[in-house]
Amino acid sequence: EVQLVESGGGLVQPGGSLRLSCSASGFSFNNYAMHWVRQAPGKGLEHVSSIRSNGGNTFYADSVKGRFTISRDNSKSTLYLQMTSLRAGDTAVYYCVKDQAYTSDWYILGFDYWGQGTLVIGSS
Amino acid sequence: IVMTQTPLSLSVTPGQPASISCKASQILLHSDGKTYLYWYLQKPGQSPQLLIHEVSNRFSGVPDRFSGSGSGTDFTLKISRVEAEDVGVYYCMQSLQTPLTFGGGTKVEIK
């Protein structure tokens, strides 16, 4: 059974930093691209960042480029999102999401399994 | 790519059909011949779950009362007979280009 468990969310002051983690199990983590998707309270879904299976390529939405860094440790089956210069507008539930494609190529097929999410609140 | 869903909300009697439309701002057909359109359901208090991938393929464990159709820029999700467990917000999503983008959602409730 695929499981994705996020952690690291919390209340952070504007300008502050936070690191989210996602522990994965139930599949061969090192063969899938992984993603972060966020959802502001009562709002829709926004694709934030993606990383290739081997960590060699990344994608960032314009809204977070230069402030967020995605990374992964395949030896620990863990995905990370380092968030800096946080803003009130970054307040959201952050979901760790698995890609559907089993591949070592830099290829995003689509999102299949989602974690339960971790809430980040940017507020003073 | 902008994804537009209609209607915003839907109230359905159990056992009756329901239909949700999704329109993309550009054709979602890739040069590989596949069309990258997905449907998700977010039940109350839960994370989204994949229903349909590549327009019409039901994901593992998804009941056959859910079906997807469409091509080009216009797509439809149909529920043949709505059940109480189908309540929530339905999202379409394109994965042709980054960033992957979602429709605004359609809230389905039971009458």
CB contact under 8 A, A108 and B50: no
pLDDT confidence tier of residue A106, bands split at 50, 70 and 90: confident
Ranges of beta strands (E only) in B1-111 are: 3-6, 9-12, 18-24, 37-42, 49-53, 57-58, 66-71, 74-79, 88-94, 101-102, 106-110
Distance CA B41, CA B47 (A): 8
Strands B9-12 and B106-110, by their bridges, are parallel
**Among candidates B59, B99, B103 on the partner chain, residue whose Cβ is nearest the Cβ of A112:** B59
Residue A46 touches partner B, C-beta closer than 8 Å: yes
B96 CA to chain A: closest CA distance, Å? 8
- Given an 8 Å threshold on Cβ–Cβ distance, is A113 in contact with B48? no
Does A44 contact B at CB distance below 8 Å?
yes
* Residue of chain A minimizing CA distance to B53: A110
pLDDT in tens, A61-92: 999 999 999 999 999 999 999 999 999 999 99
Q: Is-contact A12 A31, C-beta < 8 A?
A: no
**Helix, strand, coil % in chain B, rounded to nearest 5:** 5, 50, 45
Q: How many CB atoms lie within 10 A of CB B93?
A: 24
Tell the residue number behind the tokens 């209340």, with chain if given: A11
Q: Which residues contact B106 (CB under 8 A, 6 or more apart)?
A: B5, B6, B7, B8, B9, B10, B20, B89, B90, B91
Cβ <8 Å between A46 and B59: no
- Out of B40, B47, B101, closest to residue A47 by CB: B101
pLDDT recorded at residue A92:
98
Would strands A111-114 and B88-94 be described as parallel, antiparallel, or unpaired?
unpaired
Asked if the Cβ–Cβ distance from B48 to A44 is below 8 Å, we say no
Whether residue A123 contacts residue A91, with contact meaning beta carbons closer than 8 Å, is answered with yes
Residue among A57, A111, A119 with most chain B CBs within 10 A, to mutate: A111
Confidence of residue A49 (pLDDT cuts 50, 70, 90): very high
Confidence of residue A123 (pLDDT cuts 50, 70, 90): confident
How much is the pLDDT for A24? 98
Q: Which residues of A touch B46 (CB under 8 A)?
A: 116
- Res A103: pLDDT: 87
Mean per-residue pLDDT, A22-29: 98
Q: Residue for token digits 């994705």?
A: A4
pLDDT along chain B (111 residues), means of 10: 98 98 97 96 98 98 98 98 98 97 98 93
Average model confidence (pLDDT) for chain A?
96
